[in-house]
Structures are given as C-alpha cells and as structure tokens.
Structure 1
Amino acid sequence: MYVGRFAPTPSGPLHFGSLVTAVGSYCDARSKKGKWLIRLDDLDQERVVKGAHSNILDTLDSYALFWDDEPIYQSKQKHIYTHWRKKLIKELDIYPCVCSRQTIRKHSTLNGDEWIYSGYCKTHSSKDKPIRSYRIKLPTPCSVSIDDLALGLITDDLCKSSGDFVLFKPDGTPSYHLASILDDHYSGITHVVRGEDLLLSSLKQAKLQKIIGLTNSKFLHLPIVRNKEGKKLSKQNKADPIKIALASSTLFNALTFLSQSPPSELRTQNPSDIMNWAVENWKVSSIRYEGTNVKAEAAIHSTHIQDD
C-alpha cells in the first residue's frame, strides 16, 4: 500500500513553496488510493516557533489537505533515536568530528549549497577540541541510485558529492537524515515527495537506508518554487505565509505551478472540490522542471492581486 507524508518544520507558517510540496504529496498518495500522513519535524527545538504546529495543521485542514491518523511529532520519537544511536555506534564506522564551519570551509570544496566534507577528522587528532558531531565513514563503493518517479534514474557518488555526513550531534540527537529515515520506517512510509532542492538529501538517505538495513523509499522530486530574484521560496528568504481566506485561488496556483492544467472555473470552487479534481486528474508526467521560477512568480503575484 502506498503511504506518503508531508513533513514540515514548525518554524513558521506554510508558504507557497511548502504548499506545492503538500499538494504534490497529497495528490500522488490519494491518486494511488494511498494513505497520507503528517509529521511535524520539531526535533530541533531552537527552530520551533510557538503556535506553528497548530497553525500548520489548521492551514492544511482549511486547504482540504486532510491527513490520515494522528499527526506524528519527532519530539515524541526520542526513544527510537536513542535505541538506534546505541545500535549504530556498535555496528557502523562512526567517528567524532571537531570541525567548525570555518574548518570545513577551509578543507572542503563546495557542491551547490553544500560543502563536501574532506574527512579531515579521520586523519587528525581531536583529543583537545570539543566534539561538534559524529560522522559515518561511508563504506565503499560510495555510489547510490534512486529511481525518481518523474526524473528517472539518478546515480551519484557520495564520496565526491558529499563526503562522510553527520549522524549525530554531540548530545546524541540524530541528524536530519537519520531522523527522517527512522521516522519514515516506523510510520511505514513508502513514498517521499519533496522539492528538487532536496535531491542530495534523498541520495544520502537512500544510501543510509541501505547501510542500516531499512527498505528504500520511492521518491518524487518536485520543481523548486523561486522568488523573482531566483532564490528558493523559503522562510529564511521571508516568503509570505499562505492565507486561509485565499485557499481556493492559492490551490489553483499550486496546481498550475505543477503543470496540472486546472480549468479556469476551478479557481472559484471550494478547496474540497479543487482537491477532488486534482486527485482525479493528477499526472506526474505533466510536471515540468524548466522555467518554473517564471511560473512561480506569476502564481504568487496572482495570489497577491486577489488579496488586494
């Protein structure tokens, strides 16, 4: 059975980019008669904004993105992470890393927005410095492949594109990659739908799933929503929150961004009718990955016009 999920971080309200991911994830699950779960990635409490949990859930409900089962909170899964930390420390080649961000930049090369870790701490003593993280020594060969439902087969060599990546923080808190695959495993997630900007994360997670013996997820990466400066729409770039009062037009714009060609009369329908149409007519093959920043700007601008 198909089991999908949407896993926002409650660091603020949803914006248009996060809505596109939610809509794509929801449609892909429901069109295959699958379940759709909600997980709040609230493990990093420093990023959590008070009230964001309920705001996100209320927004999804108002947009007719109805989930199955109870929402899952990472902060309530710590017993799972503790069990796996003890297990993996015994079974994997994990080493302490004392590298600051400055040290990583000094000894590494940049791959897009991410630094390729050089393995500095595998060959340098760390006795006199505070431990900043624990990294996994990637077993060779470092190659990994995922068969994306839209983009096809994607293969990478993580030794060249990433290097050894972090598994735990000094206090034992799991990294995003480890927590994500453990949460997906215990929730029975079969399909992960996310933005194309997380492609390297997906490759890391697929490799990690294989290393520790978990079933590989299937992936679908959606086009990145960008602002008019060409930057990814995000909370860090001060993306505007989506508004409950504009649910219908914003859903219409999200479907347009995903190249689903909703009929114009759908724009004024209620959110439930829009999402029913979206599920019935969902086509992964229609998604386009070129010129999406132009479409995004038009979609966002259209939403703002209706708000005036």
Structure 2
Amino acid sequence: MGFFDKLKKITTNIFVGKIKVDDAFFDELEEALILADLGMDTTMEAVEQLRTRCRKEKLEDQEEVRTALREILVEMMNVGDTALTLDTVPSVVLFIGVNGVGKTTSIGKIGNQLKSQGKDVLFCAADTFRAAAADQLEIWSQRANCQIVRQKEGADPGAVLFDALQAAKARRSDVVLCDTAGRLHNKEHLMKELAKLSKIMDKEAPDSSRETLLVIDATTGQNGLIQARHFKETAGLTGIILTKLDGTAKGGIVIAIARELGVPVKFVGVGEGIDDLRAFDAKEYVEAIV
C-alpha cells in the first residue's frame, strides 16, 4: 500500500467477517460511509449504485461486493487529471485556502518534489497580510533548495507576483509556486484579490500553464467541503490538496469533494515530513478505505 499505510489505520473497515447482502448490510454500509466522512449525499448515491449492481449482477460474495464498491467510489473521483499541468516555462501554481490549512507547507513540499525532478522552482510570497507568512515560506524555500521572491509585510500581493513572474522569466524558472492570503474580509474582497492576481498573470505570463489549488484541512470534514464550494465560486479551481490525513480525519471527505465539486484531488498530506505530501491515486486511496 506504500504511503497509504498510515491511512489504513485511520479509515473505517466496512467489511469484517462474512457478509449477507441484504437491507441490513446496506444500512450498516450507509452508516459506515457517513462515519468515514463521505457525507449524506455521496453516501446515498454510492450505496444505491452498489445495491443496483448487486441486484443486476447477483453479487453475493464478500470480495465481489467489496470490489464493486471500490469501483463505484473510484469512478466518483474520476473528475479530471490528478497530475499538475506544467507544460510551459514558467508555469504558475496558485495556492489558496483559509489560514491554518497548510498552504505554505504544501508549497514547500511540492517545491521539494519538483526540485527533485530537476525543475527550477521559484516561490512567490504573495501572502503579505499574515504576520511572518513570508518568513515561513522562506524557511521552506531553504529546506527545498528553491529560490524565493518576497517583499515586506503589508506589501501589495499583486506587486509580489509581478516581481516573481519577472524573475522567473529572467532566470528561466520552470515553475512559480505562489502563496496567497488565507483570510480576507469577505468573499467580494477575496474575488477582487484573486482577480487582480489573475490579471497580472494574463499580462505578464499570458501563455503559461496555470493551476489554482485549494488547500483543505481534512480534519474539518464536511466544513472543508463548504469551504471548497465557496472557493470554487470565486477562484476557478483546477485541483484540491487535502492535508492532515494523518490525524483524526476519516478519509471519505476526499470522495465527497471530488464528486460534489467535480474538481480532482491532486495531493494528500499524510504526515509532517517534507516527503509526506503525495500525488493522489484514487484506486490506491479507495483500497485503503474499503
């Protein structure tokens, strides 16, 4: 199971011992999936699909039913490419999300991965509102051996991004990883700030590949899904990073987010180490849950 070994310890084991495929089994399965944080809507859809499939295909063997459920859950997460699109020099990845979810550490870990792949990576410290945010990102830039562009606290985030894009073009950097403020006054303010950053990218890097990744703390469960809905409305997300799956998170929120938002989960965090943010694999993930 590789890096999902940790996840196996914290997710719900739905199939234990012999099973009888009847109404009682499906009721127990619904409860287990809800407890695993799939949410009511996603759970009901998954169970109904499984019920229909078991009836049509006359599935009664435990392993057959388990395999069918896995296939249903994987299909729910099949909503787009889970790999980063980094086809241009430079490519730009924007990281968004509320404070405390792990945006800055995710940038450091992804920067470390890209650096190990031979890419020249530049960090952009455009979270200028949070005290010491740029200092934290600089520490990660040193750990990942990446360059960083930053300004003083309170500077215009757009100006920082402008400088970073100019530096990336001058240095022929492969990727710019851009941190953003995690707490703005309201949704309108957030929209304006993201629109400003987008306008700068349109002007300074019009042909660059772009990703907008929302970072969510898995331990917040369904609240994370609510956050994701709000950000999707304002930001045009291309992917999700789900952090802190090594804690009290139950794992099913990954499926709910992908299904309900139609946005692929691209990375999951399973620990604090620099190598503990990993590319997401739906099949392997579901096998860890079921």
* TM-score, length-scaled by structure 1: 0.28
Larger relative contact order, structure 1 or 2 (CA cutoff 8 Å, min sep 6)? 2
- In terms of fraction of residues, the more helix-rich structure is 2
* TM-score, length-scaled by structure 2: 0.29
